[in-house]
Structure 1
Amino acid sequence: MMSDTDGDDPTARQRRVWDSGAAHYDRQMAFYERIWFGGDRQWLGERVRGRVLEIAPGTGRNLPYYPAGVTLTGVELSPAMLAIARRRAADLGLDADLREGDAEHLPLPDASFDTVACALALCSIPDPAAAIREMRRVLVPGGRLLLVDHVASTWPPIHAAQWLLERWTIRSAGEYFTRRQLPLVEAAGFEIVAVERIKAGSIERVHARRPADG
C-alpha cells in the first residue's frame, strides 16, 4: 500500500509530516524522554558556547537547557513546530532568533557560529550528509558540533527490531533508526572530540570540532 506522501519531494514531505504532528509532539516526546532520551538535552546545554545555532529545534524542547550568555539562533523546517518553539522561547523570556529554513540549505553566512547543535533530527533529515556539511560551513574554525540521535544499536536483538520498525517509519514519516551520523561527521572533515553511546548503543552523543585551520 502506497503512503499518501509517496512521490513528494523529500523535504516537502518532511515539512508536512512535522506540521501534522506538531500539536502532539511534546506529549509524545515527554514519554520517550522518560524511557529513552533522558539526559540528552542537558548534555547539549552543558556544552554549547557563544553564538549557538540549533538545527531543527522542533517545538523548542532544548530551550530551557541553554545557559545564560549564549546567543541562540534556530532553523526549523516546520512552520507549525516553529510557532510552538517561539511561544516557548517567549514564555522562558529568551531572545532567540527562530526562523524557518532547511538544514540542507541553511539561510546563514559562512563561519558565523561558535556552536552548532542538533538533537534527534538527523534521523529524519532526507540528506544528513548535506546537513552536516552545512553545519561545518556555518561554524567558525575551531567551532564545536554537538549531535545527539538514535542510531543502530550495538545489541543485535535491538538492531533487528530497529530494522523492522524502519520498514514502516521510513515510508510513513521518513524516519530512520539504523542510521549512524558519526561516519558522516568524519567524512565532512570534523575532528572528533568525544563520542558516547548509551542505551545498548542506540543513542549516540557526538562532540566534534571544525579544524582551526580549515
Structure 2
Amino acid sequence: MGGTAGTNRPDDPTARQRRVWDRAADSYDQQIGLLERRLFGGGREWLATRAHGRILEVAIGTGRNLPYYPPDADITGIELSPAMLAIARQRASTLRRSVDLREGDAVRLPYPDASFDTVVCALSLCTIPDPVAALGEMKRVLVTGGRLLLLDHVGSTWPPVYALQWLVERFTIRTAGEHFTRRQLPLVRAAGFQIVETERLKAGTVERVYATKPAPAPASHE
C-alpha cells in the first residue's frame, strides 16, 4: 500500500509508488487475499486487538483492517493512492463505520504532535520509500505511551528463503518499490520506541511488532 506523497517527477520514488498502487487498486483485494491465507493469517486480528483509543492507520490501502477494529474505535486512515482510498471509503460505507480517510503522506503526516493513542501500519513499510522518516512521523503523532503496531513481510531467518527474497527484490524494488529483505524491527528500535512484543512467523518471513513511545528523557541541569 502507498505510503508517501511528494513531487510528481517521473523519477520520483513517491510518484512511482502512487502510480503502482493506483494501477493495483482494482485487483489488490483479490491478490492479497490469497497471500493473507497463506502467510498473514491472523495478522489483522492481532493488530486490531491491540489497538485502542484514537487510532491512525498509515497506508490504510483498501481498508482491509476496518472489519477487525472494535465497533467503537475512533479511526483515522491516511493513504497515498487515490484509487486505493476510494475502495477504502466504499468498504467503510459498507461496514457502516465512521472513518476519517484522507489522501496524504507517511513522511509528512498532517496531524499535530501527540494526536493519537495508536498508530497501525500493515504490509506497507516494505514499500514506503523512506521508512525511517515514516517511523519518525508515527512517533511524533503518538502520545507518550502510545502504541505502534506493525505487520509486514521481512527477510527470512532461513538462508535459502532469504536468498530467494533477495533475488526477487532485484526486480520488485526497481519496478514497484517492494522490499522483501527489509526488516522494520531494527528501525523501530533506532527510532527510540520501546519494544513490548514481537513475533516472527513462516520461516521468519512475517513479523509483528508492538512497541510504545517512551516518555521524553528529563532535561539535564548542569
Letter matched to residue 209 of structure 2: V
1:1-214 → structure 2 map (5 Å cutoff): 8-213=11-216
Unaligned 5+ runs, structure 1: 1-5
Compute the displacement of 1:7 (Å). Answer: 5.7
Counterparts of 1:177 and 1:45, CA distance in 2: 24
Q: Deviations over 1:23-65 (max 9, x none)?
A: 0000001111111111111101111000000000100111000
The CA RMSD measured in Å over matched residues stands at: 1.1
Counterparts of 1:172 and 1:112, CA distance in 2: 35
Q: Deviations over 1:131-177 (max 9, x none)?
A: 00000000000100000100000001110110011011001100000
Compute the displacement of 1:212 (Å). Answer: 2.9
**Contact 1:50 1:69 (8 Å CA) reproduced:** no
Secondary structure of 1:15's aligned partner: helix
What does residue 3 of structure 2 align with? none
The count of corresponding residues between Structure 1 and Structure 2 is 209
Report the identity percentage: 68
Counterparts of 2:10 and 2:155, CA distance in 1: 27
Secondary structure of 1:153's aligned partner: coil
Q: Where in structure 1 do 4 or more consecutive aligned residues deviate above 2 Å?
A: none
Unaligned 5+ runs, structure 2: 1-8, 218-222
Compute the displacement of 1:8 (Å). Answer: 1.3
**Contact 1:195 1:205 (8 Å CA) reproduced:** yes
Q: Deviations over 1:72-91 (max 9, x none)?
A: 00010000000000000000
Letter matched to residue 150 of structure 1: H
* TM-score normalized by the length of structure 2: 0.92
